[in-house]
A and B are shown apart, each in its own frame.
Chain A
């Protein structure tokens, strides 16, 4: 079992819809959770991080964490074509692991 698992996608949503990206992790001792966005041919950039159970909102982005279920998600409201990218989930505990990413395409 991989330490961090994500559906590779591709996930396609129409412009204006909500995109939901999911991530599960295996280390119950993980404390910090991160979402990075990576455009094709570019480097990852941090867009959200969350440490506590519940929701954390930042503009159109909401990160959700459920430590009991070892699950973290990223919701993108009012999706835009510029949101089309690969989204990487990263988890920090005893080690720091990235998932392999979910490719999102927002269709105009």
Chain B
């Protein structure tokens, strides 16, 4: 398997622009997670899905952030409008809970977002 695939790897945008990050989980995995990592706050869980349904979005910082999972093989994280404080590395991860592996997560390579 190719692992979790994220795109783009790097994104540079200007404040106020819309940003869309994309993720393809490992085939067959039933959980998908979106994280944000900064030096100050470390790795923060933003939202996770089970079988394409959002389960917990309590980590989403504010209404400017939204996430969707239209099917089992694709998810997006959108920021609109973007702000400089959104600059971070955003990771997508997936897991297979049926074998007790909900927390055994496989991470994508991440998207490094810079908002100028």
Whether both chains belong to one complex is answered with yes
* B103: chain A residues within 8 A (beta carbon): 32, 34, 49, 90, 92, 96
Q: Is B104's CB within 8 Å of the partner chain A?
A: yes
Complex alpha-carbon distance, A42 and B108, angstroms = 9
- Count of chain A to chain B residue pairs whose CB atoms are closer than 8 Å in the complex: 37
Of A12-20, A66-74, A97-105, the one touching chain B: A97-105
* A34: chain B residues within 8 A (beta carbon): 103-104
Q: Is A43's CB within 8 Å of the partner chain B?
A: yes
Q: Is B12's CB within 8 Å of the partner chain A?
A: no
Q: Is A55's CB within 8 Å of the partner chain B?
A: no
Complex alpha-carbon distance, A99 and B44, angstroms = 9
* B106: chain A residues within 8 A (beta carbon): 46
* B42: chain A residues within 8 A (beta carbon): 88, 98-101
Interface size class of B (residues with CB under 8 A): 10 to 19
Give a binary string over A26-48; 1 marks a CB under 8 Å from any B CB, 0 the rest: 00000010100000001111100
* Interface contact B43-A43, CB-CB below 8 Å: no
Which of B43, B102, B104 interacts with A88 by CB under 8 Å?
A: B43
Q: Is B107's CB within 8 Å of the partner chain A?
A: yes
Least distance between A93 CB and chain B CB atoms (Å): 11
Which of A44, A100, A101 interacts with B107 by CB under 8 Å?
A: A44
* A49: chain B residues within 8 A (beta carbon): 103-104
* Interface contact A45-B107, CB-CB below 8 Å: yes
* A96: chain B residues within 8 A (beta carbon): 45, 103
Which residues of B41-56 are within 8 A (CB) of A? 41-45
Least distance between A6 CB and chain B CB atoms (Å): 9
Q: Is B110's CB within 8 Å of the partner chain A?
A: yes
Q: Is B91's CB within 8 Å of the partner chain A?
A: yes
Complex alpha-carbon distance, A99 and B45, angstroms = 12
* A45: chain B residues within 8 A (beta carbon): 107
Of the listed residues B41, B43, B102, B109, the one surrounded by the most CB atoms of chain A closer than 10 A to its CB is B43
Q: Is B105's CB within 8 Å of the partner chain A?
A: yes
